[in-house]
Amino acid sequence: MKVLVINAGSSSLKYQLMETDTKELLAKGLCERIGIDGSIKHSASGKDDYKADITMPDHSAAIGTVLKMLVHPKYGVIKDTSEINAVGHRVVHGAEFFASSVLIDDAVMNALKECIPLAPLHNPANITGINACKAVMGDVPQVAVFDTAFHQTLPPKAFIYALPYKYYTEDKIRRYGFHGTSHRYVSQRAAVLMGRPIEELKLVTCHLGNGSSVSAIKYGKSVETSMGFTPLDGLPMGTRSGSVDSGILEYIMNLEHIDIHQMLNILNKQSGVLGISGISSDFRDLDEAAAKGNARAQLAIDVFCYKVTKRIGSASAAMGGIDGVIFTAGVGENSIDLREKILEGLEFMGLYLDKEKNKVRCKETIISTDDSPVKIMVIPTNEELVIAMDTAEIVKGLKK
């Protein structure tokens, strides 16, 4: 089955066309500056890459451009858009409505709209992407795959904040967690790599990228995760602070005479490793600066690694043990030094890193010593594949 995977942002749209029978990626690309002017980058297996400025007044125009690229005689991979059997959408927030992926119908669209206050930046863009596909592709079945769904198995003791309870019952304020598609994928791959059923494994998944979260996956189900009501909770990230003492907010707001929007801008855009280092949100820049002796770049790396180390400990405690730890996403898959630093001192928990095996990037492999009681793994994430496979499964189910 050919599935078009769509990840729609407010002015961007990422896409992949996948053949789910073979798990083959046929084409992928990115539309940017939608509604401003417009540009597209497109690549397809066995074809030259394509890049152009193309006016895209809205997301429907962007989808139209994507379809034209997919059937393009020189750069395309299909003869006719009717070969696309289904569309899978990444949707950020499904609240408590959705614990798994779902075929999109009117009731689902209404629920997605109800989720907008919980993800005001992301869900409207996702909805726009769905509407654009409907407008351009008509009755092709569409499926929503949620970032939050995998964490719906968190027990109440893990998702309830210690606030007046009415904020949960009346206002839906609770820990939701994000990166769920990634945590789900890498935990399932880890079980395959370990040659054991996921139903007997306690796994800690570390999704470390520009945004970062650590989850505890017990017997295949998420039971703890570091992101919360919003993706601002938990670990320090590229530009996000992660958890801070909430008393700091009022203190800074009074000090700088700023309102809550400006405060949140500081927490979301000016904090994290960028805030500490004053240099960059990109760990490659920090590594380079630290190697040249920049103390604040080193401090940013130290703070980040220390917090990830602590999270591995607390995720293990949440499950009463640990069989495997997985590193994924940009930093987790690529940074040999950061993995080593994060795991330093965790031998007491049975985590023994093989420093030679750790010299690996973006490859699915075990990097612990052969006799390490806990397996340490690098597993490149593939959220688009999960979206395509979920979509194919749901759409095949419709035909039965």
Q: At what angle do helices 283-291 and 295-319 cross, to 10 degrees?
A: 130
In the complex, least distance from residue 184 CB atom to ligand AMP, rounded to whole angstroms: 16
Burial class for 31, CB neighbours closer than 10 Å (0-12, 13-18, 19+)? buried
Numbered residues of the known binding site for Mg(2+): 7, 383
Sign of the C-alpha dihedral, residues 36, 93, 312, 205? Answer: negative
Site for ligand AMP in 229-248 (CB under 6 A): 238
In whole angstroms, how close is the CB of 274 to ligand AMP at the nearest point?
Answer: 10
C-beta neighbour count of 140 within 10 angstroms:
16
Residue 390: Cβ within 10 Å count: 23
Q: Which two tokens stand for residue 97?
A: 């409505």
* Block residue for tokens 């990626």: 25
Which residue stretch of 82-90, 111-119, 192-200, 277-285 sits at the interface with ligand AMP (rule: CB under 6 A)?
277-285
CA atoms 118, 34, 329, 307: torsion sign? negative
Binding ligand AMP (rule: CB under 6 A), the pick from 282, 288, 340, 354 is: 282
Residue entry with tokens 């394509």: 50
* Comparison of 298 and 372: residue with beta carbon closer to ligand AMP: 298
Residue 210 interacts with ligand AMP (CB under 6 A): yes or no = yes
- Here's the x/- map for ligand AMP, 321-350, by CB under 6 A: it reads as --------xxx--xx---------------
64 lies in the site for ligand AMP, by CB under 6 A = no
User: Which residues touch 271 (CB under 8 Å, ≥6 apart)?
Assistant: 236, 239, 240, 241
Identify which of residues 76 and 330 has a Cβ nearer to ligand AMP in the complex: 330
Position among 283, 366, 382, 391 found at the interface with ligand AMP (CB under 6 A): 283
Nearer to ligand AMP, 108 or 125 (CB): 125
User: Residue 148 CB, nearest distance to ligand AMP (Å)?
Assistant: 18
Shortest gap between Cβ of 370 and ligand AMP (angstroms)? 26
Report in angstroms the alpha-carbon separations of 263 from 232, 236, 251, 256, 303: 13, 16, 10, 9, 22
Residue that has been written with the tokens 């893990």 in this structure: 158
Q: State the binding string over 167-206 for ligand AMP (x if CB under 6 A, else -).
A: ----------------------------------------
Annotated binding-site residues read 7, 14, 90, 207-211, 282-284, 330-334, 383
Residue whose structure tokens are 């795991």: 343
Q: How far is the CB of 168 from ligand AMP (least distance, A)?
A: 30
* 37 in catalytic set: no
Q: How far apart are CA 315 and CA 215, in angstroms?
A: 7
Nearer to ligand AMP, 337 or 354 (CB): 337
> Per CB under 6 A, does 209 bind ligand AMP?
yes
Of the candidates 49, 147, 245, 287, the residue annotated as catalytic is 147
Can you tell me which of 23, 284, 363, 396 binds ligand AMP, judged by CB under 6 A? 284
CA dist list (Å): 256 to 122, 208, 251, 259, 276: 29, 32, 9, 9, 18
Nearest-CB residue to ligand AMP?
330
93 phi and psi angles, rounded to 5 deg: -120, 125
The residue ranges of DSSP E strands in 285-379, in sequence order, are 324-328, 365-366, 375-378
Angstrom distance (rounded) from CA 151 to CA 221:
8
Backbone angles phi, psi at 106, to 5 degrees: -60, -40
**Count of residues that interact with ligand AMP, criterion CB under 6 A:** 11
Q: Which stretch binds ligand AMP (CB under 6 A): 11-19, 126-134, 241-249, 282-290?
A: 282-290
- What is the per-residue binding string for ligand AMP in 286-325, x denoting contact by CB under 6 A? ----------------------------------------
Minimum distance of ligand AMP from residue 45's CB (angstroms) = 22
Residues carrying an active site annotation: 147
Interface with ligand AMP (CB under 6 A): 209-210, 238, 282-284, 329-331, 334-335
